[in-house]
Structure 1
Amino acid sequence: MPQPLVSIICLCYNHECFLPEALDSVLAQTYPNLEVIIVDDCSTDNSVRIIEEYVQRYPQLRFISTGSNLGNTRAFNMGWRASHGQFILDFATDDVLLPERVARQVEQFQRLEPEYGVVYSDSEYISDESEHVYFHSQKYKAAPDGDVFAEVLGRYFICPPTMLIRREVFEELDGYDERLAYEDFDFWVRSARKYKYAYLPQVTTKRRLHSHSLSSGWYRKGNQLLASTVEVCKRAAALVQTPPERAALALRLKYEARHAYLTGNFNEAEQLLQLLKQTSGMPFLYRFIRQLNRHKINLGFLREGYHRLRYRQ
């Protein structure tokens, strides 16, 4: 029986320092039936030259240039729509795959029922110098299986680059939403409403931590990441069906509203607090925060002080 085709979509933007290690890890996969598509989102460093050298040495690699800088969601969609695999792996070329990564996750999929759309796993976080930082499972200990919709509403527990995804999930969702500044939360909410998730308790991936990463400026005033979070929370509110799901969404809304307010994102905070009121009602603390927010009384120093104490910054 032939092994199902797996498409690895390698997404690159200014990864010249990490590209060789990343692409070598793809080429080192023990799984035999791979389609590898490298999508460069108009890098301004030497990434394209490195990619072209790899394509020349390894003709099985396909190279797509976006032509102009499109951002992660649009660039990835270009890649997966050009692919043919039964399973899709979204791989940023500053990360690293362990050699058995694809083989182990396909093997797990083959033991699962068709309603399982995603297999995810543990990962090792590494520095820019490829040194060990910590394991995902050390920080996010519970990794649920099955119906994870309420879990993805309430908290972060999936390391995104560890996911292997059935093609039909992307077809059902029409890929990532290109109107959003980031894809993870929206993908989890929309896919987990219909498909089950399975956890593989093994380290399959090395995820690189950067001081200049997308998430490092999450609550910077005016950042589109927070605006996208507000939009996804609105979508989630329309999808909740049970009291536990509603409670999980309320937990998320409280967290995001607090941070939005304390970072001076008053418009986003108001939207989140209004959604909290509609979803589960507003406890006294959040009614108080709403009044402070409406008068733009900035207590951001409390958040900054907490972070200095906790992280010694």
Structure 2
Amino acid sequence: MKEKNEEDNRITLVIQCLVYNHKPYLRQCLEGFVMQKTNFKFVAVIHDDCSTDGSQEIIREYEEKYPDIIKPIYEIENQYSKRDGSLMRIVNKALNATEAKYIAFCEGDDYWIDSLKLQKQVDFLDSHADIGLCYTDYKKFYQEFGQETDSDFKLFPNKSPFCTSLEEWLVSPRYMAPPTWLSRSQLWFESLPFETVDGTLVRFTYFLSKSKVHCMEHEVTAVYRILKESASHSSSLEKLYNRYIGLFYSQIELTKIYIGNTLSKESILSQIQTKFYITYWKLVLAKGSKEQLNDLFKWNGDGLNRLSFFLFQLCRFKYARNLFRVCYLIYFKKKLGIED
């Protein structure tokens, strides 16, 4: 009887939910957790990173109503801004303490729409020992316009297929529906070797390199909420640049870590560089540091159209570069409404 009670109390799955000033959306997120129907025990570790908008009050409300599910962490100072890894150390300690077999992920501004999400994915991983991570299709919701659309998987199947290889992913990382992820806990804890602007890039790379991943593409289980201002979307040119250049450097580091074959590694690094500069060379000219500009001009401009190639070569000269930078910033401010 004692062994049966211990088995009944064992936590099979823990949800990681990171919250910071998500008050307008948080109830929808938490409702997605507590509505889950499972034949196993699960909990949700809700980490509030010292929100100032009343998010903590909502979490306390759900903690009181669903004490067996909602397990909060309330910070008294913001951990993310420290940039020293303290945020994930705190969260991982709480996740690890549950001794759960599986980890699901959903941030406080996204939400689940399928009450059987966890059950379906756990059943799948239980029956596929070689799969380390499974995910599903999703919907997008543009908060500013109140508009819901299909996922990039469905809207842009050529650019954003459901599945990918490690090599293809390193060259062309994209949104892979993190709110739908469910992974084996051991892989989850192993998958962040360094600080980055986007932890999901690092995690997905690790999953691809150490196990198989699988998309349950016929299931739609979550909604990705796109905000006008967030970690991945911003009206600030400075924030956008820091994110894009940060992702670029992460791609390079991850390639060096996970691609062993020298020829493959050099090919992937070259593709990463070419793709980044073709897409963002103007942004690097406008916002890049002296060192970043030096790196840019080591590139020969391969892949640019004739006009872009001419402008790129012209901008090797300081005065032309300064004029281009001014014009580019004015263009963004007037045409796109983006801050300098």
- Give the TM-score normalised by structure 2: 0.74
Report the alpha carbon displacement of residue 89 of structure 1 after superposing the two structures with TM: 1.5
Conserved? CA contact 2:20–2:49, under 8 Å: yes
Report the alpha carbon displacement of residue 272 of structure 1 after superposing the two structures with TM: 6.3
Q: Does 1:252 align with 2:272?
A: yes
Distance change >3 Å, CA 290–CA 231, structure 1 → 2: farther
Q: Residue type of the partner of 1:254?
A: T
1:97-149 alpha-carbon deviations (Å, 9 max, x no partner): 121211121122123233x221121100113389552111223425354x721
Conserved? CA contact 1:124–1:132, under 8 Å: no
Task: Indicate the RMSD between aligned Cα atoms, in angstroms.
Answer: 3.6
Report the counterpart of residue 123 of structure 2 in structure 1.
107
Q: Residue type of the partner of 1:67?
A: I
Specify the SS of the correspondent of 1:143: coil
Q: Does 1:26 align with 2:33?
A: yes
Uncovered stretches (5+) of structure 2, i.e. residues with no partner: 1-6
Distance change >3 Å, CA 259–CA 149, structure 1 → 2: same
Specify the SS of the correspondent of 1:126: strand
Report the alpha carbon displacement of residue 203 of structure 1 after superposing the two structures with TM: 0.8
Instruction: Decide which structure has the larger Cα Rg and report it.
Output: 2
Conserved? CA contact 2:144–2:228, under 8 Å: no
Specify the SS of the correspondent of 1:44: coil
Matched residue count:
300
Report the counterpart of residue 7 of structure 1 in structure 2.
14
- Give the TM-score normalised by structure 1: 0.80
1:46-195 residue pairs with structure 2 within 5 A?
A: 46-60=54-68, 61-71=70-80, 74-83=86-95, 84-98=99-113, 99-114=115-130, 116-128=131-143, 131-136=146-151, 137-141=153-157, 143-145=161-163, 148-155=165-172, 156-173=174-191, 175=192, 177=194, 179-195=195-211
Conserved? CA contact 1:162–1:205, under 8 Å: yes
Distance change >3 Å, CA 199–CA 54, structure 1 → 2: same
Distance change >3 Å, CA 39–CA 157, structure 1 → 2: closer
Distance change >3 Å, CA 269–CA 213, structure 1 → 2: same
Distance change >3 Å, CA 261–CA 74, structure 1 → 2: farther
Tell me the distance in 2 between the aligned counterparts of 1:149 and 1:124.
Answer: 25
Specify the SS of the correspondent of 1:224: helix
Uncovered stretches (5+) of structure 1, i.e. residues with no partner: none
Q: Does 1:233 align with 2:258?
A: no
Distance change >3 Å, CA 218–CA 5, structure 1 → 2: farther
Tell me the distance in 2 between the aligned counterparts of 1:36 and 1:171.
Answer: 16
Report the counterpart of residue 222 of structure 2 in structure 1.
205
Identical amino acids, percent of aligned pairs: 19
Specify the SS of the correspondent of 1:103: helix
Tell me the distance in 1 between the aligned counterparts of 2:260 and 2:314.
Answer: 30
Conserved? CA contact 2:23–2:55, under 8 Å: yes
1:36-92 alpha-carbon deviations (Å, 9 max, x no partner): 111100000111111111111111121102331122975354223212321112211
Specify the SS of the correspondent of 2:16: strand
Specify the SS of the correspondent of 1:5: strand
Tell me the distance in 1 between the aligned counterparts of 2:250 and 2:166.
Answer: 13
